[in-house]
Structure 1
Amino acid sequence: MEEHANVYFDESGFTGNRLLDSKQPIFSYAAVVIQDEEAKALVAHIIKKYQIQNGEIKGGKLVKKIKGRRALDEILNSLHGKMKVSVSNKKYALAGKFFEYIFEPSLARISSIFYGINFHKFVSTMLYIDFLRSGAQAEEIFEAFEALMRTGNFDSSKALFHTSFADESSKTLEYILTFSANNQSAVIEELNGYIGEGSGKWSLDLTNTSLYTLLSDWGQSYKTLTAYCDKSKPLETDQELLNTMIGRTDKVFSSFGDKELPITFNLTEPINLVDSKDFAGVQLADAVAAAFSYACNSDNTDEFAVKWRELIEDVVTYGSVFPDFDHVDPSSLEARRNGMILQELVRRSENKEDLLDGITGFIYDATCFLNNS
């Protein structure tokens, strides 16, 4: 493990709490470890070679033209081994947030059990699939949920908490809506007074989570880190958790499936929120974020998108959020069991039964039944 690194961060595709922006479906947050003088030299070289105007690298502009993509490609080549990226499909991330804020309050007492069997991924992926099908009701649910989390106004969120279904609604979407409607009180108790204000105003934003994951990842290679981030409203609003990592020397890991993932790192000081114009390292992070936002958008099929996708396995971190349709594969035991669990939770909620009493026994019995069928 090396002693120290300055880490530079920037994003591409930021839309705050508005994850349904159709023009920017991908959010990318990049981290670059580089010496200041090396960063300045690389930025100066790129600006001169590609005749970039205004003396600053802006990845969002470069990615729009072939010449700019050539510049980005050279940057990626130069930063081999010095960059990491968190990339998320924003609509799927919104579906994941739906489970976190609408389902989890009712399951919180033993939520680790549901996460352990990927029940959250089953619900999120099924909701996402309904959205992809262009179902009007699924879109209405997403919009209502996003508005609720942004404003904190439960009175205007009827689409989330009713049980009238559109003709095109899938059975799973009906189950999800029925569960939401019957457990609205738990959601209100959990979220009322938090969302829509202060740090809760940014509860759907992906910036803080991406930054934290990237710092945790780099913290496995360096004993201490100093972080420089392009100015960001979510980061300006809340750095409380990040500040607990200042001077932290212990290494703590969390189980994630069959992996042990780091959740601590050692910051030398609070996060520095800076102007990218003054920090070459941040400009390089901006370029990396734009390149991977472009590459991870399936609409882009040119040579650069294809080439950069080949870097994903080495560069994109474990905190990235993309749908894995294996979690809803009807031939898998996991998906069929989670479907049975969803139906059982809906049945209990409709009958006003305790959702969690004996649910571990139900999960065990469902597993045995499916194994023997």
Structure 2
Amino acid sequence: MNKGSVKTNAILHFDESGFTGNNLLHKRQKIFCYASLECPHDEAKKITEHIIAKYHIQNGEIKGGKLLKGVRGKRAVDEIIQYFKGRFKVSVSDKKYALAGKFFEYIFEPAISSVNSTFYNINFHRFISNMLHLELFVRGAMAEEIFEDFENLMRTGDFEGLKVLFSASKDKGISPVLEQICDFAIHNKESVIEELDGYAGEGAGKWVLDLTNTALFSLLAEWGQEYDQLTAYCDQSKPLNEDQEIFKAMINREDKKFTHIAGIDSPLTFNLKEPLNLVDSKVVHGVQLADAVAAAFAYACDQDNQDEYAVKWRGMIEEHLIFGSVFQDYDHLDLSKIEVQRNAILLQELTERSKKGMSLTEGIVEYIQFITIALRETPLELQK
């Protein structure tokens, strides 16, 4: 589609694959995909009935997860994908990395919120998130316990019974960077408590780690760049049932606003014709088709899957994946880069300030400018 020519109204269908709610450490469901499909109802009904009849799909409903268990089902899903090529968008996330991103948002950001844009613009959040993700795979147990503690905290809002997240005792095998991250958490616990007070574990807060709302919002914002107005049909979802306030604020919203972070402009608004339609996929055929697309790209983004369909669909990801999809990128940990050296020094500075009870934000912009200039003149010497 040509983004230069905005069209009138889009009928959009949404569904997900890999939903595990607040449990982002789920062992078997590693990838979350939320898919969106532009298609009028009559066309969706026609294609759905064609696929069901051609591939002898039982129960009269397309379920992507079930279809991917067999070769015939994969052919059915592939036919859907090829038919709608260019008419769907997906948001895909590695759930462990998404959890690492949430860690930064709820453990680090409350203490630096007054100047948070400064940290986002130098990709400090990505440095922390990627470091946590790497620790989870390299060191295992200690990082896993920290992540489990964080997940339990966000699910319940209860600080009691946490094993290691805010504990002064450390595992002997802990890395220096992970120790700094833990020390930061310990000494900024009050900021975290204030941030979560009356939110986590209550109402919409029960789903604070879930990726559904964020993915749906990002997808709608992307479609809003192509269409004047959007009508959204979503499969029934507990997180969406709990909280739709941000989507209601977009009804008949005609202004175009963007956020600018780390050199990238991202849309913040879109125009919904009506409130989200939370529907039964058996009744609204387009949602069944979106389910198939979501299942396919969750399957393709799991590197354990290497069959011809996984490889084929991976080749289509760049065309259909939206900005805001969440995957690790270890380039943000490459210490040969000055910006990564700066973020490592900045973490050490924030941790030391936290231990001493000093302000984390006072003079921090000037400090960042200072170390940036210093590193450009004399980069850190790395051991070979």
**Shorter-chain TM-score: what band?**
over 0.9
Partner amino acid for 1:160?
A: L
Partner of 1:360: 365
Question: What SS does the aligned partner of 1:11 have?
Answer: strand
Q: Residue 205 of structure 2: SS of its match in structure 1?
A: helix
TM-score computed with the length of structure 2 as normaliser: 0.96
Amino acid at match of 1:7: L
Counterpart Cα distance in 2 of 1:354 and 1:221: 45
Give the AA of the match of 1:191. L
Show the 5 A alignment for 1:242-281. Answer: 242-281=247-286
Give yes or no for the alignment of 1:184 onto 2:189.
yes
CA contact (8 A) 2:253 2:272 kept: yes
Cα offset, 1:163, TM superposition: 2.7
Match of 1:332 in 2: 337
Indicate how the Cα distance of structure 1 residues 172 and 327 shifts in structure 2: closer, same or farther if over 3 A, else same: same
Which residue, 12, 17, 22 being the options, matches 1:17?
22
Check if 1:111 corresponds to 2:116. Answer: yes
3-state SS of 2:164 partner: helix
Residues 135 and 169 in structure 1, CA contact (< 8 A), matched pair in contact too:
no
2:232 to 227, 231, 234: 227
CA positional deviation for 1:69: 0.9
Choose from 349, 352, 359 the match for 2:354: 349
Report the Cα distance in structure 2 between the residues aligned to 1:330 and 1:69, rounded to whole angstroms: 42
**Whole-Å Cα distance in 1 between the matches of residues 75 and 269 of structure 2?**
36
Match of 2:219 in 1: 214
The counterpart of 1:53, out of the listed 53, 58, 67, is 58
Q: What are the Cα deviations for residues 85-120 of structure 1, in whole angstroms up to 9, with x where unaligned?
A: 000000000000000000000000101100110001
Match of 2:99 in 1: 94
Question: Shift of the alpha carbon at 1:178?
Answer: 0.4
Question: How far off its partner does 1:169 sit?
Answer: 1.4
Give the corresponding residue for 1:34: 39
CA distance in 2, matches of 1:256, 1:45: 44
Match of 2:381 in 1: none
8 Å CA contact 2:7, 2:226 repeated in 1: yes
Identity %: 56
Where structure 2 has 5 or more consecutive residues not aligned to the other structure, the ranges are 1-5, 379-384
Query: Aligned equivalents of 1:328 and 1:112: distance in 2?
Result: 20
Q: Which moved more, 1:355-364 or 1:113-122?
A: 355-364
Deviations 1:3-57 (A, max 9, x none): 1011000000000000000100000000000011111111111111111000000
Query: Quick check: 83-92 or 164-173, which moved more?
Result: 164-173
User: C-alpha separation between the residues in 2 aligned to 1:166 and 1:68?
Assistant: 47
Counterpart position of 1:135: 140
**Bigger shift: residues 87-96 or 259-268:** 259-268
Q: CA deviation at 1:135?
A: 2.1
Tell me which residue corresponds to 1:66: 71
Show structure 1 runs of 4+ deviating over 4 A. none
Q: What is the SS of the residue equivalent to 1:155?
A: coil
Confirm whether residue 85 of structure 1 aligns to residue 114 of structure 2.
no
User: What is the CA deviation profile of residues 163-202 of structure 1, one whole-angstrom value per residue up to 9, with x for unaligned ones?
Assistant: 3221221111000000000110110011121100101111
What stretches of structure 1 of length at least 5 have no aligned partner? none
Shift of 1:257: 2.4
Report the Cα distance in structure 2 between the residues aligned to 1:205 and 1:71, rounded to whole angstroms.
Answer: 29
Distance 1:2 1:183 in 2: 48
Q: Work out the CA distance in 1 between the residues paired with 2:188 and 2:145.
A: 19
Which residue identity is paired with 2:15?
D
Structure 1 residue 158, shift from structure 2 partner:
4.3
- Quick one: distance in 2 between partners of 1:135 and 1:12? 26
> How many residues are matched?
373
